[in-house]
Amino acid sequence: MNQNSLPSVSIVIPTFNGERTIGTLLDRILSQSHPPEQIVVIDSSSTDRTVSEVRARGIEPLIIERSEFNHGRTRNLGARMTDSEVVVFMTQDAVPCSNLLIENLLQGFVDPKVAGAYGRQITSEDAPLLERFLRGFNYPPVRLTKRLPMTVSMGIKTFFFSNVCSAVRRDVFFDVGGFPEVLPLNEDMALAYRILKKGYSIIYEPDATVYHTHRFSLYERCLRYYRIGLSVGLMQIHREVGCSSEGIRYLKEGIRFFFRMGRPHYIFYFFLDTLLRSVAFQLGLMRGASRSNGEAERVEEVPGVFKQSKENQRFSGV
């Protein structure tokens, strides 16, 4: 693609104790074929070398109190500090696979009806087997343009969107109100919902690829899905479009994956994990739906939403 046809871009990265990956992430961003005009790092008072790693690359981070962090509010703050045509949101542990990440992520923006895009996530070679399957299932190698009418066939999965590596037109971002600041998690899905409801499209771009791996325990995965369900319930999205109906496909592909990997004995754990995460999601969904008065209610008023800021921030990125 002609570089001159690409929109200007800024990058927003929230950080907290990310010294292991933040340096590599910034180095690869700075070497992109379509470099950003600005890199905004908002750090939640890290206690390791994160801030030093950022400053060593000529970037002065904005440091906030750990208690001030909120997935939506912190990213909205970062977006307000930019003035480019497109804002790219990334997490501190998402490492670009090549110097073409931004260029590929933006290629769909030649269409004025495209307001957002998100990239593909692949795991490291030593990632847990279940994590490798989950990333492959959620981030396939096939490009997809999502529009609101697709809710008929895809249900709530239409609004799947990930701030691990995403791009949004800045004017549209603020026109739809940015990220909701009332959710414990899933602010990216809520933004996608707002964008599609306005008649825009969102592209899943598999050529924009980052390395990103979670190493959650079963308990942590269940807690995360509880919070996802809680967020969906608070937003009431499921009442409009219903939940995704791809559960059978997920199970079939999982069984095939573990047989292909020579680990058929892992299928029992796979089913147990799926069952417990589904239960956790439904419990969160019911709690969120029962307490929601729409987006007007502040989630901080819902008991148990934030166990602690450090843990809440750990669960960023789908």
In sequence order, which residues have a C-beta less than 8 Å from that of residue 298 and are 6 or more positions away? 182
- pLDDT of res. 171: 97
Rounded to whole angstroms, the Cα distance separating 275 from 29 reads 39
Q: Among 145, 314, 106, 117, which Cα is nearest to 223's?
A: 314
- pLDDT of res. 297: 42
| Residue 84, burial from CB neighbour count under 10 angstroms (0-12, 13-18, 19+) | middle
Per residue of the chain (318 residues), give pLDDT as tens: 556 689 999 999 999 999 999 999 999 999 999 999 999 999 999 999 999 999 999 999 999 999 999 999 999 999 999 999 999 999 999 999 999 999 999 999 999 999 999 999 999 888 999 999 999 999 999 999 999 999 988 888 999 999 999 999 999 999 999 999 988 889 999 999 999 999 999 999 999 999 999 999 999 999 999 999 999 999 888 777 766 668 889 999 999 999 999 999 999 999 999 999 999 999 999 999 887 654 434 444 333 343 434 444 554 443
Domains of the chain: 3-314 (3.90.550.10)
User: What pTM did the predictor assign?
Assistant: 0.89
How many CA atoms lie within 13 Å of 11's alpha carbon, on the beta-carbon side? 27
Tokens linked to 262: 């020579």
